[in-house]
Chain A
Amino acid sequence: MTPLSEMGFLSSFLLIFVSAAFTDNILMARFLGMCSCLGVSKKVDTSLGLGVAVMFVTATTAALNYLVYTYLLVPLRLEYLRLIVFIVVIAAFTQLVEMIIERVSEKLYNSLGIFLPLITVNCAILGISLFMLNKPYSFLQAFAFGLGGGFGWFLAIALIGGIREKINEAALPKGLAGPGITLVVIGIMALAFVGFSGMIKI
């Protein structure tokens, strides 16, 4: 396979996006961001809201953290501080975005903004920023990786939300209702995503 650096811009962007969304699905293959997913996936519309918020934040913070890493941490030889610095950057960024959304559009705030405090310290978002460093990405490729990772999470929670809405109507054994059946559902879905693993190697 051609190395990423020699690919055309669009194909590398697409490849990274797809691999981050499917073969390396952050929720289904890495099991990150599980707590907020279990908490909010009861209905499809809230799942979509949270999913979009996560996608937006992962894409922007991956790009932001890429800049912080390349232009601050590497020159100062402080790479080992990346974990704590990324957390702080993500937290500050989500707070800032929440404020801006609240001021700009009340409608957007009600559908998206209320989820931002939920994902201030979401491990999926931190995970994507950290995994991004494992590959020699350029700035735009890092952005693609963040966007794809977020889209994967969005896809997963939207599917789970849809299934949970249906399952709510089912007559389940008492002990299995709620989180129990949700974990079973996620496990079966994860099997499907594991099927993708290894398909794209970059």
Chain B
Amino acid sequence: MLVSILISVGFLLACGLVLAGLLVLAEKKILNYGTCHVDVNAGRKVLDVEGGSSLLSSLAEKNIFIPSACGGRGSCAYCKLKVQEGGGLIGPVEEPYLTPAERKDNVRLACQVKVRRDLKIEIPDELFSVSRFRAKLVHKKPLTHDIVELRMQLLEPGSISFEAGQYVQLESADYKGHESVMRGYSISSLPSDKNHLELIIRRVPDGICTTWVFDHLKEGAEIFFSGPYGFFHLSDTQAPIICIAGGSGMAPIWSIVRDMKEKGIARPTTYFFGALTQRDLFFLDEFRQLEKECPWFKFVPALSKEPADSGWTGERGLITEVVARHFPDASKHEAYLCGSPGMIDASIAVLTKNGMPEQSVFYDKFS
């Protein structure tokens, strides 16, 4: 009896060990691509990476961070870049995300391209200045019932340089069966405050990252993020400015307007802040103070769902209607929009109807 138990256990063990050993050996022998050279932007940087893993993770190992929200599973399509040589065939996972024009331009998803041989790739120059930061959460302050402000002290690297309007990718920690994900949030702090970073985050029901921020993240905790990313920033023209943003979309505008004040840029600016009711408003006092200090700045909060008898004396109605009332002629202005795709599309429609050329509209779509 005992012997037969021992034999069966021993046999299974041996069987497992032999097969596992075989697989390990096979992986070493078969999937060994050796060191591959990755040429970034026609020789600007040449990286020696160990072949076999995805281009996205190989680049991250060499401190080049391509934006990615899904963590390399091939579902967000943020990590697009040009692979001019050595990318191989387009795989079935990335196929649905690439338009015919992109295919012709050799655009690929970095997470789906495996480094098997020497590669030639092209990435936007801005990505060279992106780093991954370790930071400590200094405070987490509720701004409204569903929006918080996070302030972080940067630990490593200890400082960041960015342009007001850019965003970072926050990495959530593992919690309750959710793996770490990365989500983009606009920076709300000033570029001159190099050792700190602030974000304004709105709770997304069932959102993996925002649930972590609201329910699991505690003051004093360590946070990781990469950045800065994005092309949303003040242009260097002299045109007067219309800003439209609601909710947590205020973050980049809050940074840009204060940055203008610091740098003495006095372009006439009107900021339309759209919200549902009074409980969704925040930073009112701060913006009123800014209005007093800067004669070129005007702040217009507008509520769309405020009860008629509430005593609210400010603007009412959809933010697009309010903007149209204030600027029947917007042909000389520039617009900076930040918020949901629906709000941005509606705003663009109103602004272009009122004479604004489409190339004067800059926006940062949250999705």
Knowing A78-B11, A110-B91, say if A96 contacts B26 (CB, 8 Å): yes
Q: Is B8 an interface residue (CB 8 A)?
A: yes
Binds B, one of A27-35, A87-95, A126-134: A87-95
A114 cross-chain contacts in B, Cβ below 8 A: 91-93
Chain A residues in 8 Å Cβ range of B19: 88-89, 92
Count of chain A residues with a beta carbon within 8 Å of a chain B beta carbon: 21
Which chain A residues (108-137) contact chain B, with CB distance < 8 Å? 110, 114
Contacting pair B30 A92 (CB below 8 A)? no
CB pair B16 A88 closer than 8 Å: yes
The interface bits of chain B over 5-28 (1 if a CB of A lies within 8 angstroms of the residue's CB, else 0) are: 001100110011001101100110
B76-113: which residues lie under 8 A (CB-CB) from chain A? 88-89, 91-93
Q: Is A100 an interface residue (CB 8 A)?
A: yes
Bound complex: CA of A11 vs CA of B301, how far in Å?
85
Residues of B close to A96: CB separation below 8 A: 22-23, 26
Complex Cα distance, B88 from A77, in Å, reads 49
CB distance from A33 to the nearest CB of B (A): 21
Q: How far in angstroms is the closest Cβ of chain A from B113?
A: 11
B88: chain A residues at CB < 8 Å are 106
Whether a CB of chain A sits under 8 angstroms from the CB of B46 is no
Q: Given A110-B89, A114-B91: A76 and B31 within 8 A (CB)?
A: no
Q: A92 with B23: in contact, given A78-B7, A78-B11, A85-B15 (CB under 8 Å)? A: yes
Cβ of A81 under 8 Å from chain B: yes
Q: How far is the CA of A28 from the CA of B23 in the complex (A)?
A: 34
- Given A78-B7, A106-B88, A107-B89, are A99 and B12 also a contact pair (CB < 8 Å)? no
Complex alpha-carbon distance, A96 and B31, angstroms = 11
Majority secondary structure of chain A interface residues (helix, strand, loop or mixed): helix
Interface check A10, CB cutoff 8 A: no
Q: Are A88 and B15 in contact (CB under 8 A)?
A: yes
Q: Nearest Cβ distance between residue A112 and chain B, in whole angstroms?
A: 11
Residue among B7, B15, B116 with the highest chain A CB neighbour number at 10 A: B15
Nearest chain B CB to A64 CB, angstrom units: 11
Given contacts A85-B15, A88-B16, A100-B30, contact A95 B23 (CB under 8 A): yes
Interface string of A55-93 (1 = CB under 8 A from B): 000000000000000001000111001001100110010
A70 CB to nearest chain B CB (Å): 15
Residues of B within 8 Å of A102, CB to CB, are 30-31
- Chain B residue with minimal CB distance to A89? B19
Cβ < 8 Å to A, chain B residues 239-272: none
**Residue numbers in B under 8 Å from A72 (CB-CB):** 11
Inter-chain contacts of B22 with A (CB < 8 A): 92, 96
- Of the listed residues B19, B22, B116, the one surrounded by the most CB atoms of chain A closer than 10 A to its CB is B19
- In the complex, how many angstroms separate the beta carbon of A183 from the nearest chain B beta carbon? 25
Instruction: Determine the distance from Cα of A99 to Cα of B28 in the docked complex, in whole angstroms.
Output: 10
**When the two chains form their complex, are residues B8 and A81 in contact, meaning their CB atoms are under 8 A apart?**
yes
Kindly provide the distance from the CB of B86 to the nearest chain A CB, expressed in whole angstroms: 11
* A174 contacts chain B at the CB level, 8 A cutoff: no
Q: How far is the CA of A46 from the CA of B16 in the complex (A)?
A: 32
Interface residues of B in 46-86 (CB under 8 A from A): none
Query: Per a CB cutoff under 8 Å, which of A81, A92, A103, A107 touches B12?
Result: A81
Report A126 CB to chain B, min CB distance, Å.
16
Question: What's the minimum C-beta distance from A84 to chain B, rounded to whole angstroms?
Answer: 7
Tell me the complex Cα distance, A86–B205, Å: 45
CA distance A72 to B15 in the complex (A): 10
CA distance A88 to B16 in the complex (A): 7
Within B158-200, the residues touching A (CB, 8 Å) are none
| A114 to B30 CA separation, bound complex (whole angstroms) | 17
Is B7 a contact partner of A76 (Cβ separation < 8 A)?
A: yes
Residue from A76, A85, A89, A99 within 8 A of B30 (CB atoms): A99
Closest B residue by C-beta to A93: B19
In the complex, chain B residues whose CB is within 8 Å of the CB of A99 = 26-27, 30-31
Query: Which of chain A's residues have a CB closer than 8 A to the CB of B30?
Result: 99-100, 102-103
A95, B21: Cα distance in complex, Å: 13
Which residue of the partner chain, among A78, A106, A107, A110, contacts B8 with CB atoms under 8 Å?
A78
Residues on B with C-beta less than 8 A from A106 are 88-89, 116
Report the bound CA distance from A85 to B8 in whole Å.
11
Whole-angstrom distance between the Cβ of A197 and the nearest chain B Cβ: 36
B11 touches A76 (CB 8 A): yes
How far does the alpha carbon of A110 sit from the alpha carbon of B88 in the complex, in Å?
A: 10
Given A96-B23, A99-B27, 15 extra CB contacts under 8 A: A72-B11, A78-B7, A78-B11, A81-B8, A84-B12, A85-B12, A85-B15, A88-B19, A89-B15, A89-B19, A92-B19, A92-B20, A99-B26, A103-B30, A114-B92
6 A-B pairs with least C-beta separation? A92-B19, A99-B30, A103-B30, A106-B88, A106-B89, A110-B91
**7 pairs, CB–CB < 8 Å, chain A vs chain B:** A78-B11, A81-B12, A84-B12, A99-B27, A99-B30, A102-B30, A106-B88
